[in-house]
Chain A
Amino acid sequence: MKQLKVDAIKDGTVIDHIPAGKAIQVLKILKTQGNHPVSIGMNLPSTKFGAKDILKIENHELSAAEVDRIAIIAPTASITIIRHYEVAEKRKVSVPEKLENVAYCPNPNCITNAESIATRFKKYKENADGKVDYMCNYCEKIYRAEDFKIKLG
């Protein structure tokens, strides 16, 4: 791998191979704003995608729930946990089978937008272009993962 254009960190998480332009969106769904130093690299050259974004978050290791949220926006992302400047763990972002209260249902006439209840989606289809569709457990409408509005916290 080529040298990253952002400085190495001592402890924390590196999220690489984010589709170009999505870094800010990824950052928004993590619970790190204001708490940890974050460096962002945008539109960096990538052999795989042409261009990519990178996020480095110091002193924070991503939770499983955060990884699930990232999967919705940036299914191609790779996640590396750094401890004492060393790669401690690599986590593959995988497309979750189920989304438990991670996103709002985009259907305005869905019961989840009328009552205060958790949303639930299950994976409906992985498309040829790598994009993933989910079906709402309640209204049974089918949505592209990238069209979801993510629930924060």
Chain B
Amino acid sequence: MSEYIFPEKNIISIRDLGRDELDYLVETAWAIESGRIKPNLNGRIASLLFFEPSTRTCFSFESAVKRLGGEALIMKGTNGTSVQKGESFSDTLRTIERYSDIVVIRHAVEGAARLASEVIDIPVVNAGDGANQHPTQALLDLYSIKKIRGTLENVKIGLVGDLRFGRTVHSLAQALSHYNPEFYFISPSFLEMPEHIKNELKEKGIKYTELPEVEPVVPELDIMYVTRIQRERFADSEDYERLKGSYIIDKETIKGAKEDMKILHPLPRVDEIACEVDSSPHAYYFDQAENGVYMRQAILSILLGEVK
């Protein structure tokens, strides 16, 4: 690997990472996947503290730790833990710090991972804090786009679905904004991209177009990033029934797509991508999930100083 020294002690928010850091993370994930480097976490312990259960993300981190030869202490939910007995978050962290070399935190309360990083000295990775950030998801998305296209520059990407509450699409937009993308924001009007994200893009001179349906732009896209619209977001169920069809991607939707257009999805999927799409060459979401393990291996190895 290059002589680059990763400047961050933790991965808390995509906002903390500049282009150099993003490039380095992506490059390291590729070095690990391709077998060019083999970081070794033998004898190292990662605590995976999932205050809010998320089996998928937890498994992905656990798989990353184990593939690196490390061990994981896992908390899924707070049932039967000291947290349930009323222990403060800070005290839980200070105790876990004594048992492990790195902490991965998922928490329903926003800012929990940031606070953890201030309370303890070992590295902290944010695996999702409420509606705020999920930086490792954005990083694995970047890695996927890099693998698909060979470059992160100038991608034409459509973000489809719930762009208002979906933290994944916010972090991804922020991460990609270092690489001169062109965005298409496709959502119902009441679920559109928040003003502050659009302002940040405007200030960086990044082009985006907002539209209510995906079909007209399908032929333009290099990447279609689909997220779920939760029924609860709709004020009345009639609206939901009327609109949901516009945001279900099936073979018909992607008929006019470029041959090498790929569909990404943070998973789990419910019905927003029809199963018939899975067998098409455009489907990339399961590869994307696999990429998550390489990216998390990269993150753990870098923060533990094992990428040499």
Listed by A's residue number, 21 A-B pairs whose Cβ atoms lie within 8 Å are A109-B109, A109-B130, A109-B131, A110-B110, A111-B107, A111-B109, A111-B129, A112-B111, A114-B109, A115-B89, A115-B115, A117-B115, A138-B110, A138-B115, A139-B110, A139-B111, A139-B129, A139-B130, A140-B15, A140-B110, A140-B133
CB–CB B115/A140 < 8 A:
no
- Residues on A with beta carbons closer than 8 Å to the beta carbon of B199: 125
Per-residue CB contact flags for chain A residues 111-153 toward chain B (1 = under 8 Å, else 0) read 1101101000000110000000000111111100000000000
Query: Residues of A within 8 Å of B, CB-based: how many?
Result: 17
Report the separation of the CA atoms of residues A124 and B200 in the bound assembly, to the nearest whole angstrom.
Answer: 11
Nearest CB of A to B88, in Å = 6
- Residues on A with beta carbons closer than 8 Å to the beta carbon of B107: 111
B65 interface residue per 8 A CB criterion: no
Report the separation of the CA atoms of residues A21 and B109 in the bound assembly, to the nearest whole angstrom.
Answer: 36
Nearest CB of B to A6, in Å = 41
A107 interface residue per 8 A CB criterion: yes
Chain A interface residues toward B at CB < 8 A: 107, 109-112, 114-115, 117, 124-125, 136-142
Query: Residues of B within 8 Å of A, CB-based: how many?
Result: 20
Of A107, A125, A139, A141, chain B has the most CB atoms within 10 Å of the CB of A139
- Residues on B with beta carbons closer than 8 Å to the beta carbon of A138: 110-111, 114-115
Excluding A109-B110, A124-B196, 13 further A-B contacts by CB distance (< 8 Å) are A109-B109, A110-B111, A111-B109, A111-B110, A111-B115, A112-B111, A114-B89, A115-B115, A117-B115, A138-B110, A138-B115, A140-B110, A140-B111
Is chain B's binding surface mostly helix, strand, loop or mixed?
Answer: mixed
Is chain A's binding surface mostly helix, strand, loop or mixed?
Answer: loop
CB–CB A115/B110 < 8 A:
no
Per-residue CB contact flags for chain B residues 133-151 toward chain A (1 = under 8 Å, else 0) read 1000000000000000000
Report the separation of the CA atoms of residues A107 and B131 in the bound assembly, to the nearest whole angstrom.
Answer: 11
CB–CB A142/B196 < 8 A:
yes
Report the separation of the CA atoms of residues A137 and B131 in the bound assembly, to the nearest whole angstrom.
Answer: 15
- Chain B, Cβ-Cβ closest to A116: B88
- Residues on B with beta carbons closer than 8 Å to the beta carbon of A117: 90, 115
- Chain B, Cβ-Cβ closest to A112: B111
Other-chain residue from A107, A109, A111 in contact with B114 (beta carbon distance below 8 A): A111
- Residues on B with beta carbons closer than 8 Å to the beta carbon of A115: 88-90, 115
Report the separation of the CA atoms of residues A110 and B132 in the bound assembly, to the nearest whole angstrom.
Answer: 9
Report the separation of the CA atoms of residues A109 and B115 in the bound assembly, to the nearest whole angstrom.
Answer: 14
Report the separation of the CA atoms of residues A103 and B133 in the bound assembly, to the nearest whole angstrom.
Answer: 23
- Residues on A with beta carbons closer than 8 Å to the beta carbon of B112: 111
Nearest CB of A to B288, in Å = 25
B227 interface residue per 8 A CB criterion: no
B297 interface residue per 8 A CB criterion: no
CB–CB B110/A141 < 8 A:
yes
B291 interface residue per 8 A CB criterion: no
B13 interface residue per 8 A CB criterion: yes
Nearest CB of B to A35, in Å = 35
Nearest CB of A to B78, in Å = 13
- Residues on A with beta carbons closer than 8 Å to the beta carbon of B111: 110-112, 136-140
Report the separation of the CA atoms of residues A45 and B133 in the bound assembly, to the nearest whole angstrom.
Answer: 48
Q: A111-B89, A114-B89, A115-B89 are in contact. Are A137 and B114 (CB under 8 A)?
A: yes
Q: In the A-B complex, list the 10 residue pairs whose CB atoms are closest, starting with the nearest.
A: A138-B111, A139-B110, A111-B111, A139-B111, A138-B114, A111-B109, A111-B115, A111-B112, A142-B196, A109-B110
- Residues on A with beta carbons closer than 8 Å to the beta carbon of B88: 115
Q: A111-B89, A115-B88, A115-B89 are in contact. Are A140 and B109 (CB under 8 A)?
A: no
- Residues on A with beta carbons closer than 8 Å to the beta carbon of B131: 109
Of A112, A115, A136, A137, chain B has the most CB atoms within 10 Å of the CB of A115
- Residues on A with beta carbons closer than 8 Å to the beta carbon of B108: 109
Report the separation of the CA atoms of residues A136 and B13 in the bound assembly, to the nearest whole angstrom.
Answer: 13
- Chain B, Cβ-Cβ closest to A119: B111
- Residues on B with beta carbons closer than 8 Å to the beta carbon of A110: 109-111
- Residues on B with beta carbons closer than 8 Å to the beta carbon of A107: 110
Per-residue CB contact flags for chain B residues 101-118 toward chain A (1 = under 8 Å, else 0) read 000000111111011000
